[in-house]
Structure 1
């Protein structure tokens, strides 16, 4: 039916309105889409670019170079050795077992390491590289590279590993590194991502452990392009990490090497301190071990061997223990200077006051014996130290009391945990009345004071503490031991110390008596004196009992140390400083179960002191004429044991 003009006009009007509404809606949608596209392309461009990059780029950590450790003269004590390493990622390998089987046919793999790698490949993220082989040869690297198409996910890399050029000599000082263990992660508070890298090495003991944060450095990063299967296509960029700080110690490698050679065959410790600044120049413990065997993780068999090492009469002499700081011993007669200074400072005695020694002292119903059964007769301060009379100290200790003796011991550095970057440093015991109440739940007895007066009973000291005590007596200052000279070139605080506030006259009297111990014909260390006038030594012998001698044994005759089992013999001790008139070094030596201090410890201390003073092998004229033939033979024997110290990469002097 034919529509009229009006109907046509109305229809056109309706169509135009609908078209306008539809067009407006379309324009609105286009505007919204345009705005969204603009937002995505302009405002959110960086976000989407990053998402796109992460789809094809992996970011990995680059372990930094660990800081080096030097001795006082710039000799390298802990170095980084470059070597080739084979790693694998599970994501890149695909069939891990098949790839490992191919790799094993190309280069010989250690079964134990391979088994550990299989476990890590299953447990760790598929993108984390796992070490399959370390320290491989260049020929093996070439074989892996040539066969790369058949070894997806396998990469040969240049890595670094810790090495200790001085070996056994510095084991108890520098310590060692090892792979991060679950135990390490459980006790380390910082969450450095480096610690998550498989077999990343951290300090386990001594300086390596205590200065871990300074030595470790900061990680670098690398970006690598991977394909859809996760296989590395190319490295895009690399930012190297910040190397760890270099550390310079106060120890002299040459002197340390001599100490270890001189202690060879003993279970012993020796410490040398520069009394002018507290620098530890030598700190040796024997027997020792090679720290290099710990770097990649020690085997169970070798660990058991080191913990169960047997010498002579099947006796364990603890090669892993740093006896210098971890061993504590009754100081014996080396403690007598403490008792003497306490009595002098208190005014309980004058230097010329005498005590008659008849070979024993009775305290109530207990008899305390002097080492000389017949007694020494009348003893003053000088004679009592020179001849090491026990009865003199039994008497004056009862006058001054244990609390003042203990206070003097602590003033001289005993009973204190000295702050050094070494492991398991022990504070020893400087007992007093309060200590016994708290530790033993008992009251202090007069007999305890008598025992303590000669360094027996509850008194326990380390070789380091005895060296500090001697340095403080020699100088009258609160010398503090220092093992680290500088970190990254920054000098560490000196250990010279302030004045102890002791009466100089009292110190002078004690020093003179110590001089006579070594240089008077009746002194207990006269046979091991230093002959050269300019280097004369002041010292004190010590012998500490590790067993109780019964009255029946005394009546029948005390059994000689040589006739006792090794672990029941007395400890031998000697402390000294030299030159006596202008002290430079203090030395302390402890020989476990060595017998007498004058025969076992004093000769070692004298030889070490001379080596330090002469900065090398001393002339025979420095020794008493009667012993020069023996010393010449000893020097020839030690020459075979002393390491040829090579210069380092450069001095670290500040």
Structure 2
């Protein structure tokens, strides 16, 4: 059937319109393509001419500025300083040996330096910059910059390096940074490309290590155009790096400096804690070291002087050191007995100088005995026999549980290296770790902080803060990160009987403020600042029966390594506790003679906000105290240059 003429005309019109649309689209596309070709061939001719001459684009990392660390008052304790260095990129060099030879005429390089550079170039990617020299003088870096056109692949750079303006005072707290090593790469699961940059510095110890990711920041990138000879022609663009977080610690620089100065000459540790917030105000460990030595590259001689020192300056004794707490543990045993109802505050136990148990004698420190002792006097005069009896009544499980309740035998979460857990032993613990069953003698030893019990100065300070407040105070070292406050360590109530806690607090007051108290000679005269405390002496050797028969050697007559450790714990002011302190003097002898005087000076400095006033000391001691305080190597925190530190 033939189609109507009208239908044929309509079909032709539709085809014509579609053809016009298709043709117009093709024409527009051709026009756009022509414009693009003109743009590339005419307007960007110079750029592509350079690319045709074998230029290429490199992407380079921009290391971020490491975050700074401040004390609680905003004083800088870890910062960055300008560092001039020279790097080389293997992919941009045809003849490495020639470049190194030419460069050695401009800056000082030893044969060892050259061999190190060659080794780094062999190990690293051809695109990764290798540091040739850093910490150069302005004159040296200027020489390299002027001759840069003749040194392909060599780049003078202006970066930042870590510095610690407070020297040894914060060495054990903040730690130090150092170049990323193969060992570091093998043990950390971190894909950050910054770690592949030779000599890039990361935290090695202390807070620098524990807060590494926050302090490190994030890398930036820059795109540069280089020619066939490796010379940078121009920078095409960059994404700036993000600097590391700013961290504020709870430490008070002035108190930290005084603490370190007061511990000088000893192998010792001290911790000062705010009992209301848990803030760690000072963490002293002596002797210390200058962390700047490690950042700049410590010499063999300097490192040997640290590792061969019998006082172990590299160890942070405040958190890593574990010591038998001695008589500072007696409050734990007393509270366990009170809570269990095994003893009343006024009940007395007779001390004859020893306790007989299975044909073995457990001696009191006072050979002739103390006579009748109640709870208050047993702590005041530190009678051992009283606690031997409590141990037999209460048992190790309840004593150990009370110790953990007061913060002992627990690894506390503070960002420092190798924080120790300590040991609060139980019967099960001894079977698992010593392979032997528990015996009653173990309980007697534990009751006076000897035997298997081990604690750190940090734990003892926490224990004391909990005794002062009846709260589960926890330590806080980081106050804020980028001005965001971290939670306080106030803690929940311990749930211990308030009356029983007051008995313990009152007995600790007697230790430091009554004439027969073991720390009476270290009392504070100012009544508004008075301290409650407890001395401790822990043995590091067994005393034989033969030695007791002929008379026990005095500590000062023994080699240093065989002398007893001296300990003291305390809180102040007694009427409204604010500060808790613990002091351990390794092989210091008696806690009353070696540790208590140090603790008194430090806790006075904490309360008075600086050098203790002589009016705070008993009149008869002021001449001696004035002379001793005047010799301390303290310095003004506003002074940017610390005194020379001692290893």
How does the TM-score come out when normalised to structure 1?
0.89
- Which runs of structure 2 are paired with 1:119-158 in the superposition (5 Å)? 119-158=119-158
Say if 2:186 is the partner of 1:186.
yes
The alpha-carbon deviation at position 613 of structure 1 amounts to: 0.3
- Which runs of structure 2 are paired with 1:541-556 in the superposition (5 Å)? 541-556=535-550
Q: For 1:328, which of 317, 322, 340 is the aligned residue?
A: 322
The alpha-carbon deviation at position 145 of structure 1 amounts to: 2.0
| C-alpha distance after superposition, 1:200-226 (max 9, x if no partner) | 000011100000011011001111111
Q: Report the Cα distance in structure 2 between the residues aligned to 1:244 and 1:149, rounded to whole angstroms.
A: 34
| C-alpha distance after superposition, 1:297-353 (max 9, x if no partner) | 4344433332112xxxxxx11110000010000000000000000000110000000
Aligned length: 600
Q: Contact between 1:517 and 1:526, CA under 8 Å: does it hold in 2?
A: yes
Say if 2:445 is the partner of 1:451.
yes
Q: Which residue of 1 aligns with 2:16?
A: none
Q: Contact between 1:64 and 1:219, CA under 8 Å: does it hold in 2?
A: yes
The alpha-carbon deviation at position 137 of structure 1 amounts to: 1.4
The alpha-carbon deviation at position 237 of structure 1 amounts to: 2.0
Q: Report the Cα distance in structure 2 between the residues aligned to 1:78 and 1:110, rounded to whole angstroms.
A: 31
Q: Report the Cα distance in structure 2 between the residues aligned to 1:569 and 1:483, rounded to whole angstroms.
A: 33
Q: Report the Cα distance in structure 1 between the residues aligned to 2:200 and 2:561, rounded to whole angstroms.
A: 41
Q: Report the Cα distance in structure 2 between the residues aligned to 1:422 and 1:321, rounded to whole angstroms.
A: 12
| C-alpha distance after superposition, 1:28-50 (max 9, x if no partner) | xxx9xx99x979x89xx9xxx99
Q: Report the Cα distance in structure 1 between the residues aligned to 2:189 and 2:128, rounded to whole angstroms.
A: 23
The alpha-carbon deviation at position 100 of structure 1 amounts to: 1.4
Say if 2:388 is the partner of 1:389.
no
Q: Report the Cα distance in structure 2 between the residues aligned to 1:516 and 1:113, rounded to whole angstroms.
A: 64
Q: Which residue of 2 aligns with 1:642?
A: 634
Q: Contact between 2:180 and 2:199, CA under 8 Å: does it hold in 1?
A: yes
| C-alpha distance after superposition, 1:609-640 (max 9, x if no partner) | 000000001211100111111110112101xx
- Which runs of structure 2 are paired with 1:231-242 in the superposition (5 Å)? 231-242=231-242
Q: Contact between 2:93 and 2:229, CA under 8 Å: does it hold in 1?
A: no
SS across alignment from 1:135: coil
Say if 2:67 is the partner of 1:75.
no
The alpha-carbon deviation at position 95 of structure 1 amounts to: 1.6
Q: Which runs of 5+ in 2 are unaligned?
A: 1-25, 41-46, 641-647
Q: For 1:620, which of 603, 614, 620 is the aligned residue?
A: 614
Q: Report the Cα distance in structure 2 between the residues aligned to 1:169 and 1:115, rounded to whole angstroms.
A: 37
SS across alignment from 2:479: strand
Q: Which residue of 1 aligns with 2:104?
A: 104
SS across alignment from 1:577: strand
SS across alignment from 2:105: helix
Q: Report the Cα distance in structure 2 between the residues aligned to 1:382 and 1:111, rounded to whole angstroms.
A: 71
| C-alpha distance after superposition, 1:132-174 (max 9, x if no partner) | 1111111112211222233222221111100000110000000
Q: Which runs of 5+ in 1 are unaligned?
A: 1-30, 310-315, 649-654
Q: Which residue of 1 aligns with 2:488?
A: 494
| C-alpha distance after superposition, 1:502-541 (max 9, x if no partner) | 0000000000000000000010000000110000100000
Q: Which residue of 2 aligns with 1:515?
A: 509
The alpha-carbon deviation at position 232 of structure 1 amounts to: 1.6
| C-alpha distance after superposition, 1:368-401 (max 9, x if no partner) | 0000000000000000000000000000111011
Q: Which residue of 1 aligns with 2:211?
A: 211
Q: Report the Cα distance in structure 2 between the residues aligned to 1:335 and 1:585, rounded to whole angstroms.
A: 19
The alpha-carbon deviation at position 55 of structure 1 amounts to: 6.2
Q: Report the Cα distance in structure 2 between the residues aligned to 1:433 and 1:285, rounded to whole angstroms.
A: 33
Q: Which residue of 1 aligns with 2:418?
A: 424
| C-alpha distance after superposition, 1:563-611 (max 9, x if no partner) | 0000000000000000011000000000000000000000000000000
Q: For 2:345, which of 323, 326, 351 is the aligned residue?
A: 351
How does the TM-score come out when normalised to structure 2?
0.90
Say if 2:288 is the partner of 1:294.
no
Q: For 1:473, which of 467, 480, 488 is the aligned residue?
A: 467
Q: Contact between 2:152 and 2:230, CA under 8 Å: does it hold in 1?
A: no
SS across alignment from 2:369: coil
Q: Which residue of 2 aligns with 1:14?
A: none
Say if 2:335 is the partner of 1:341.
yes
Q: Report the Cα distance in structure 1 between the residues aligned to 2:113 and 2:506, rounded to whole angstroms.
A: 62
| C-alpha distance after superposition, 1:209-251 (max 9, x if no partner) | 0000110110011111111233322222222111110000000
Q: Report the Cα distance in structure 1 between the residues aligned to 2:366 and 2:189, rounded to whole angstroms.
A: 57
SS across alignment from 1:326: coil
Q: Which residue of 2 aligns with 1:89?
A: 89
Q: Contact between 1:179 and 1:297, CA under 8 Å: does it hold in 2?
A: no
The alpha-carbon deviation at position 86 of structure 1 amounts to: 1.0
Q: Contact between 1:110 and 1:133, CA under 8 Å: does it hold in 2?
A: no
Please say which of residues 134-143 and 599-608 is displaced more in the overlay.
Answer: 134-143
| C-alpha distance after superposition, 1:5-41 (max 9, x if no partner) | xxxxxxxxxxxxxxxxxxxxxxxxxx9xx99x979x8
Q: Contact between 1:179 and 1:296, CA under 8 Å: does it hold in 2?
A: no
